[in-house]
């Protein structure tokens, strides 16, 4: 806890501190008010410091939680500390601007994000104290080593109170798998109104799908192979209302060293898993039509090729000139029309899978069709379904669609090529004027020859200096200051002109050329960032570089990064490496070792495209990253006059979760001022996208360039 202030905070700050003390149940007397005045002085300093960094207020919240002014230290008797936080935030929000002498701009742009961070720090402080109390209880238990019940009886009243009244579940079990005791919190987690007749087998409380993993961890403890284990499992009592619990189990030994009992501390993490389920649902289902989205489409096509099907057909559908519907009738009618269109496509497709792959784009997947004729029959039904007039929002709206058809055997094709073929055929159909279908023809596919040529020339292109870097700003939403620059690679091809990464990165990864290309991008980015550092000093932005899933687990990658930093003179914290979930999971052990070494070297790490993966939040806690970049698909719903409530809720939850883990949050695809304002109100730290400026050539270090419309 911070000490008393040594300087006079002034009468207005002291008066505010007295008002604040009245809200806190355990704050009394001049000395406590003086401590609160010290926190106010720190808040004033954080709000006035340039550059503004709202995370500085997190320590103030943590110290408030540690003060004991807000209620019992472990939150189990008397006032609950979290109950007094809303009043504190309301008081500071209403009174602090005048008392702390903040101008209107500072109050608007800085106070609210600072208070958000103060709240996050307060929550983190409470969690730390709860966990500390758990550890104290375990240490007290381990000291006796003989009899858990005797230890609990002889422990200090503090430990007994934690056991009987604490919010954390505690279970005592025998070595042979019998639950011998449960504290009241554990009974509540299991949906029990009272303690059951014990002992009972541990399997009676564990979900069948989790039982094997749980018993394996239990066996490691009971056999003495491990002294502690941690595992996430679902628990339930007789009502079978399942609760996710994070269990930390410890082995209790006798004085002779022989195992005696097991004790488990159970934290209810159901909310964490509910958020995970929301993310999985949001990342696999289109929010408007409830159809599977592009990610699930790709997964379904891959599964079809690997699941025993002999032939696969795909219809790629694009509504012709749908933009005019939004321009003429508005987005509300456009959304209603898309919903009605999805229903028609489901009916026309029969039992085949229908997905939404983009704004006005859909797909139909056919498994083992009876040749191309069946796929064409489905395509014709889809065209007819789209062409019939729609009646939505009091309007009669006519539509047409273009459909690209691809069909072939699974032994000669692959999932990616089938999707590409359908996309190529779709472009042919649209070129015919719309309202028609086109079938993929390999002989017509000039693009395949181009792709082969690009693949053949990739490795030589690095030696011939054909690649260029462009930089896009990452801007702090609270005050518009420049925080970083993402390096984006372009290929200046001698025949095809300037190519974006979408044309060659996948080819580079498939061919292995990505390693050499990535090495060049890293070195060039660091050289450029070192020039910014030399010219701008501490105001220089960091450079953010994407790391391919092929690069991260490569032996020697960490040494290459450290060598480039030493060669260019770039400070490690001026380099941020962006990784994806795929990059880590492709070789988790090697990737985690590399990330830990990079963090130890001082390099910033960011998890890119967050929200679209399927990993658990427990996995995220183990990642040694500094920041998250929320995938742009969640940001798109914030652009309209009325934001999509699901996207807004998900973004808010992601920001809160990331801040609870101490991570900085960047939102991608920020294209309008409306999105930027909403993201700032949701507590997001940084924004990136066309609203702040397009990617520009190397050597250009801009201030944020906002667009004038949006």
Q: pLDDT tens digit string along 378-424? A: 999 999 999 999 998 888 899 999 999 999 888 877 888 888 889 98
CA 474 to chain centre: 17
Q: pLDDT tens digit string along 625-663? A: 999 998 888 888 888 888 888 888 889 988 998 898 899
Nearest alpha-carbon partner for 348 in 385, 377, 308, 316:
385
Cα 211–Cα 215–Cα 216 angle in degrees, nearest 5: 120
| pLDDT for 156 | 53
Res 619 pLDDT > 90: no
Are the C-beta atoms of residues 321 and 397 closer than 8 Å to each other? no
Q: How far apart are CA 434 and CA 427, in angstroms?
A: 10
Q: Which residue has the tokens 């207005």?
A: 12
- Mean pLDDT on 112-140: 72
Q: pLDDT tens digit string along 304-323? A: 887 778 899 999 999 998 88
| pLDDT for 278 | 61
Cut 0.75: pTM above it: no
Q: How confident is the model at residue 469 (pLDDT cuts 50, 70, 90)?
A: very high
SS3 state of residue 504: coil
Cα 215–Cα 216–Cα 217 angle in degrees, nearest 5: 90
| pLDDT for 6 | 47
Cα 456–Cα 460–Cα 466 angle in degrees, nearest 5: 110
Q: What residues contact 601, with CB distance under 8 A and at least 6 apart?
A: 558, 561, 562, 565, 572
| pLDDT for 448 | 61
- Mean pLDDT on 237-261: 80
Strand ranges in 442-574 using DSSP code E only, listed in sequence order:
467-476, 482-493, 497-499, 542-546
Average pLDDT, the chain: 82
What stretch of H or E contains 340? helix 331-349
Q: How confident is the model at residue 682 (pLDDT cuts 50, 70, 90)?
A: very high
Q: pLDDT tens digit string along 67-105? A: 878 875 443 334 566 667 778 888 888 888 888 877 766
- Sheet containing 169-174: give its strands across: 200-201, 178-182, 169-174, 259-268, 243-253, 228-235
Are the C-beta atoms of residues 597 and 617 closer than 8 Å to each other? no
CA 230 to chain centre: 23
Which of 479-488, 506-515, 602-611 is predicted least confidently?
Answer: 506-515
Q: How many CB atoms lie within 10 A of CB 337?
A: 23
Q: How many CB atoms lie within 10 A of CB 622?
A: 13
Q: How confident is the model at residue 605 (pLDDT cuts 50, 70, 90)?
A: very high
Q: pLDDT tens digit string along 424-456? A: 899 889 988 889 999 998 877 766 667 777 777
Are the C-beta atoms of residues 518 and 548 closer than 8 Å to each other? yes
Q: pLDDT tens digit string along 143-163? A: 544 444 554 445 455 556 666
CA 211, 216, 222, 226 dihedral sign is negative
| pLDDT for 2 | 42
The residue ranking higher by pLDDT, 139 or 29, is 29
- Mean pLDDT on 236-256: 79
Task: Give the HSE-up count for residue 54: Cα atoms under 13 Å, Cβ half-sphere.
Answer: 30
| pLDDT for 284 | 63
| pLDDT for 158 | 55
Q: Which residue has the tokens 């609210």?
A: 112
3-state helix/strand/coil string of 619-660 = HHHHCCCCEEEECHHHHHHHCCCCCCHHHHHHHHHHHHHHHH
Cα-atom radius of gyration of the chain, to the nearest Å?
A: 30
Q: How far apart are CA 639 and CA 672, in angstroms?
A: 7
Q: How far apart are CA 195 and CA 203, in angstroms?
A: 17
């Amino acid at each position: 806890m911070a000490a008393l202030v040594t300087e006079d905070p002034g009468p207005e700050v002291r008066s505010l501190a007295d008002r604040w003390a009245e809200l806190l149940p355990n704050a009394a007397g001049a000395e406590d008010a003086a401590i609160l005045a010290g926190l106010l002085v720190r808040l004033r300093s954080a709000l006035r410091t340039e550059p503004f960094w709202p995370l500085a207020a997190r320590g103030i919240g943590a110290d408030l939680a540690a003060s004991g002014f807000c209620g019992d230290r472990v939150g189990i008797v008397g006032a609950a500390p979290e109950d007094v936080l809303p009043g504190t935030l309301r008081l500071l929000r209403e009174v602090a601007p005048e008392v702390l002498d903040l101008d209107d701009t500072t109050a608007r742009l800085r106070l609210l994000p600072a208070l958000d961070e103060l709240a996050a720090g307060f929550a983190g402080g409470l969690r730390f104290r709860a966990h500390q109390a758990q550890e104290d209880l375990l240490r007290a238990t381990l000291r006796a080593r003989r009899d858990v019940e005797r230890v609990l009886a002889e422990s200090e009243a503090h430990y007994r109170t934690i056991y009987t009244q604490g919010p954390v579940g505690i279970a005592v079990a025998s070595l042979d798998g019998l639950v011998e005791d449960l504290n009241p919190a554990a009974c509540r987690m299991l949906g029990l109104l009272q303690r059951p007749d014990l002992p009972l087998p541990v399997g009676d409380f564990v979900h069948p799908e989790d039982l094997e993993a749980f018993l394996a961890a239990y066996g490691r403890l009971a056999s003495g192979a491990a002294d502690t284990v941690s595992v996430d499992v679902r628990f339930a009592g007789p009502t079978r209302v399942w609760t996710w619990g994070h269990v930390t189990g410890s082995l209790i030994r006798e004085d002779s060293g022989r195992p005696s009992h097991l004790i488990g501390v159970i934290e209810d993490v159901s909310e964490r898993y509910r958020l995970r389920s929301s993310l999985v649902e949001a990342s696999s289902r289109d929010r408007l039509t409830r159809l599977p989205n592009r990610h699930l489409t790709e997964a379904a096509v891959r599964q079809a090729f690997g699941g025993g099907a002999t032939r696969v057909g795909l219809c790629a559908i694009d509504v012709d000139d749908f933009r005019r519907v939004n321009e003429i009738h508005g987005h509300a009618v456009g959304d209603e029309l898309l919903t009605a269109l999805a229903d028609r496509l489901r009916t026309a497709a029969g039992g085949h899978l229908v997905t939404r792959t983009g704004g006005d784009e859909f797909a139909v997947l056919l498994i083992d069709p009876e040749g191309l004729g069946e796929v064409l029959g489905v395509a014709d039904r889809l065209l007819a379904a789209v062409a019939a007039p729609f009646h939505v929002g009091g309007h009669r709206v006519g539509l047409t669609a273009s459909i690209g058809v691809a069909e072939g055997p699974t032994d000669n094709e692959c999932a990616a090529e089938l999707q590409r073929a359908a996309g190529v055929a779709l472009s042919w159909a649209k070129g015919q004027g719309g309202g028609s279908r086109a079938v993929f023809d390999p002989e017509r596919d000039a693009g395949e020859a181009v792709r082969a040529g690009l693949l053949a020339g990739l490795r030589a292109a690095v030696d011939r200096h054909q690649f260029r870097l462009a930089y896009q700003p990452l801007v702090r939403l609270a005050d518009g200051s420049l925080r970083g620059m993402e390096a984006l690679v372009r290929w200046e091809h001698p025949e095809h002109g300037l190519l974006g990464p979408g044309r060659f990165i996948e080819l580079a990864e498939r061919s292995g050329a990505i390693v050499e290309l990535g090495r060049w991008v890293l070195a060039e980015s660091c050289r450029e960032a070192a020039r910014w550092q030399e010219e701008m000093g501490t105001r220089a932005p960091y450079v953010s570089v994407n790391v391919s899933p092929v690069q991260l687990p490569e032996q020697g990658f960490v040494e290459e990064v450290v060598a480039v930093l030493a060669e260019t003179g770039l400070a490690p914290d001026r380099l941020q490496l962006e990784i994806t979930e795929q990059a880590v999971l492709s070789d988790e052990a090697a990737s985690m070792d590399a990330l830990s070494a990079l963090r130890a070297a001082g390099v910033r790490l960011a998890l890119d495209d967050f929200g679209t993966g399927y990993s658990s939040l427990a996995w995220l806690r183990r990642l040694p990253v500094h920041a998250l970049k929320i995938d742009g698909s969640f940001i798109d719903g914030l652009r309209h006059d009325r934001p999509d409530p699901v996207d807004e809720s998900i973004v808010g939850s992601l920001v809160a979760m990331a801040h609870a883990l101490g991570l900085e949050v960047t939102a991608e695809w920020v294209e309008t001022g409306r999105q930027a304002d909403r993201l700032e109100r949701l507590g997001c730290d940084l924004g990136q996208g066309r609203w702040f400026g397009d990617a520009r050539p190397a050597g250009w270090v801009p201030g944020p360039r906002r667009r004038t419309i949006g």
